Amino acid sequence: MEVLLFLAASLRISVPYALAAVGASFSERGGVINIALEGIMLHGALAYTLAAYWSGDPWLGLAAAVLAGVLTAALHALVTVGFKADQITSGLGINLLAAGLTRFVLIQVFHSSSNSPRVVGLPEWDLLGLRRIPALGPTIAAPLMLIAIALTLGAQWLVFRSVFGLRLRSLGERPEAAASLGLSVPLYRTLGVLLSGALAGLAGAWLASEQHCFTDGMTNGRGYIAIAAMIVGKWSPLGAAAACLLFGAAEALQITLQGSGFPSEPLQMLPYLVTMLALAGFIGRAVPPRAVGVPYDPEKH
């Protein structure tokens, strides 16, 4: 039972990471680094809260979160694909913007600089009686949990088995070659970024729905952990989700050990250290797509 409860906690913690990390693999496979995930998640969480607060309908909240995610990602796409500016700088700019803007809205709408009033969370789905599995039931019955699992599997198929995925990957490796075959590099890259925005928006919705409110800075670095997981997972959706489970388990262990006298910081550092080791080639070689981070500019070729 203890083990099952621990597993349930790990799964719950992993969901937002996995959604954002799976999304990031779309963006990066197409050649666009998406450090803006942190800000996109924050916008998603706020949009969920606002829509759920005004309408009382959590599904409307979910839709609003996806919309906010896509719109924020569109800004990233405009700057990086449209204007061909540096992707990392753009991502950081969006994260700064989101941190300020969400607090601004929080103060204007809810007259609080720390949190919103309570809003409804997403209801449970009792599919096939999954709800009755001991300990794990409530976690598995969360709609976004099921959606995250389905999206991960779907994304793995889409990236590695579909025509769209082949095209997307080709322009993350050699955009000139893809363009010479008549593919629109800007179109596909934009699609990759927007997809990652939609998923990161969902991740934000999960956070707000779980906590039943929006709190200032509630993403708390999760967007960066998602990027790390995607790297450890070698730019594949399944690998990214697996890394998220590992990171989620480390965090669950941290919570379990709270109050036991064992310091939590070493476990806190774990995801970051694992990522650095993976990047340096100590845990298998993490090789990024060849053209990731490089704006595609035919004029410069």
257 near another protein (CB under 8 A): no
Beta carbon of residue 64, minimum distance to another protein (angstroms, whole number): 19
Tell which positions 177-236 bind another protein, by CB under 8 A.
221, 224, 227-228, 231
Q: Residues 19-55, buried b or exposed e (16+ Cβ, 10 A)?
A: bbbbbbbbbbbbbbbbbbbbbbbbbbbbbbbbbbbee
Give the residue, chosen from 103, 174, 212, 234, that forms a contact with another protein under the rule CB under 8 A: 103
Closest CB to another protein among 73 and 140?
Answer: 73
- Site size with another protein, rule: CB under 8 A: 47
Beta carbon of residue 290, minimum distance to another protein (angstroms, whole number): 13
Q: Residues 105-141, buried b or exposed e (16+ Cβ, 10 A)?
A: bbeeebeeeeebeebebbebbeeeebeeeeeebebbb
Give the residue, chosen from 7, 60, 99, 179, that forms a contact with another protein under the rule CB under 8 A: 99
Among the listed residues 93, 97, 87, 78, the one whose alpha carbon sits nearest the alpha carbon of residue 32: 87
Beta carbon of residue 269, minimum distance to another protein (angstroms, whole number): 5
Cα 142 from Cα 133, distance rounded (Å)? 13
Residues in contact with another protein by CB under 8 A are 33, 35, 39, 75, 78-79, 83-86, 88-90, 92-101, 103-104, 107-108, 113, 221, 224, 227-228, 231, 263, 265-266, 268-269, 272-273, 275-276, 279-281, 288, 299
